[in-house]
Amino acid sequence: MQQFQQYIDGAFDDGSAQFHSIDPATGAAWASMPEAQAADVNRAVQAAETAFLGSEWAGMTATQCGKLLHRLADLVAENAPRLAELETRDTGKIIRETSAQIAYVAEYYRYYAGLADKIEGAHLPIDKPDMEVWLRREPIGVVAAVVPWNSQLFLSAVKIGPALAAGCTVVLKASEEGPAPMLEFARIFDQAGFPKGVLNVITGGPEAGATLTSHPKVVHVAFTGGPETARHIVRNSAENLASTSLELGGKSPFIVFDDADIDSAVNAQVSGIFAATGQSCVAGSRLVISNKIKDEFLTKLKAKAEAVVIGDPTDMATEVGPLCTLHQRDNALALIAASEKQGARVVTGGQPIAGDGFYFPPTIIDCSDAPQADCITNEFFGPVLSVLSFDTEEEALEIANNTTFGLASGVFTSSLTRAHRMIRGIRAGIVWVNTYRAVSPIAPFGGHGLSGHGREGGMQAALDYTKVKAVWLKTSDDPIPDPFVIR
């Protein structure tokens, strides 16, 4: 059994309690993880605050901070194979995805390394002749970052990168499901040369999360996870009036018009829903398809879904691995059963694969006769695609926007004018046109409604970790007159 350690105040320890992490490909325990108790969380927050107030970090120039982030980016790139192996082992995300994604995570740190000394204040053309007024951009303080189990290295990079570039310090709580890659990341971070306490990495479940996000010294909670947990986070942070950024779930529409390149759209839909075994917040999980091409599209899609290579996530040939937890598998099964009762029809898949591990096949459900079925309204977080069809563009837009979520969307059409109308009409934080799932450190990422608020990625994310201080300086040498002398 492999042992992992938590990282607090620049040191590693086993913690006072441990739990076992499960390999989703076998269902067996494979590693022992420290489960952060209240004392550990408090120690981590205290270390982050001491580092934030200490002269070593606060006294560092932004350029020096950028150099450390560059060093971190290099280390992540060098260690990407090891990190990918651990993420695959601990979460079941297939190795071909973790390898590519983690190599790209290094680019997020590089982007924020470059941004560190470009976060500028401003000079104001104030309406008083003997005053200079300018704005300093200062770091907000101790940030709590809470991430889910899918793509933890990526989801933490979009928090740690901008927060450190802005001069904040961070306590990151890795998910209790599959924390190994984050605890290994802490070892890599430790080599980059940041002052101790600038980043602290702990793990544990809702209790550790609640202690962290309600801590009075935490000024901002950067959260990625489900909407129900987000409600707890907002309540936890309310006591201290800490700010929050919430990256939550989705039920993203994948809209295909009859003038689209069908083969290209089918390929994008396959990876849009079945990549990461569907455990992706931006999964294009609602196919909204023109009735004119529905049969042809579904025939091609079904053939591709049934040809997907399902198996050992550590094998480079595997295209769909296991779900991360047994709970995820049971949840998918329950939602499908409920939807069938409501009138939805399973086109392919729908039953878990027998044997060890939490395997579930690519599944397509036609909801033409059940447009309000659970599989249309609820996030599965599994390889399950729900299908609705339309006759007109107006209908397509209405179906796309008929959701409480608003994270991502895809539009496939060869009409430029229609593409523009759809871009304007869709209520979501991301619209991909004739493509899907493209991401970059340069582009902001986030949602509307139950998909949350705040944006990660891009320049704005770093500015969100700063606050503005207005400075007033009197430039005349005239003394301030006695205010009580009547003139």
Which residues of this chain interact with ligand NAD, rule CB under 6 A?
A: 146-150, 155, 173, 175-176, 205-206, 209-210, 213, 224-226, 229, 232-233, 236, 247-250, 281, 379, 381, 407
Give the nearer residue to ligand NAD in terms of CB position, either 109 or 297.
109
Question: CA 381 from chain center: how many Å?
Answer: 14
CB of 300 to ligand NAD, least distance (A): 27
Determine the residue type at 393: E
Give the nearer residue to ligand NAD in terms of CB position, either 251 or 294.
251
**What is the chain's length?**
487
CB of 323 to ligand NAD, least distance (A): 11
Which residues are CB-neighbours of 15 under 8 A, at least 6 positions away? 5, 6, 34, 35, 36, 37, 40, 202
Please indicate whether residue 168 is annotated as part of the active site. no
Distances (CA, A) of 4 to 1, 170, 180, 268: 10, 20, 7, 38
CB of 41 to ligand NAD, least distance (A): 11
Residue ranges with strand state E in 190-344: 199-203, 220-224, 243-247, 253-256, 286-290
Contact 350, 338 (CB under 8 A): no
Give the nearer residue to ligand NAD in terms of CB position, either 266 or 408.
408
Q: Which residue has its beta carbon closest to ligand NAD?
A: 209
Contact 136, 468 (CB under 8 A): yes
CB of 154 to ligand NAD, least distance (A): 8
- Which residues does residue 456 pair with via DSSP β-bridges, in sequence order? 445
CB of 382 to ligand NAD, least distance (A): 11
CB of 400 to ligand NAD, least distance (A): 18
**Token representation of residue 22:** 């499960």
Which residues are CB-neighbours of 299 under 8 A, at least 6 positions away? none
Give the nearer residue to ligand NAD in terms of CB position, either 175 or 363.
175
- Which secondary structure element, helix H or strand E, spans residue 109, and what is its range? helix 95-115
Handedness of CA 216, 221, 225, 226 (dihedral sign): positive
Catalytic residue among 247, 319, 379, 456: 247
Give the nearer residue to ligand NAD in terms of CB position, either 193 or 206.
206
Give the nearer residue to ligand NAD in terms of CB position, either 91 or 413.
91
**Token representation of residue 465:** 């970790």
- Which secondary structure element, helix H or strand E, spans residue 306, and what is its range? helix 294-307
In 3D space, the residue among 26, 69, 75, 24 whose CA is nearest the CA of residue 277 turns out to be: 24
Please indicate whether residue 247 is annotated as part of the active site. yes
Catalytic residue among 87, 176, 177, 281: 281
Backbone angles phi, psi at 8, to 5 degrees: -130, 130
Q: Which residue has tokens 């047994």?
A: 326
CB of 234 to ligand NAD, least distance (A): 10
Give the nearer residue to ligand NAD in terms of CB position, either 195 or 249.
249
Known catalytic residues? 247, 281
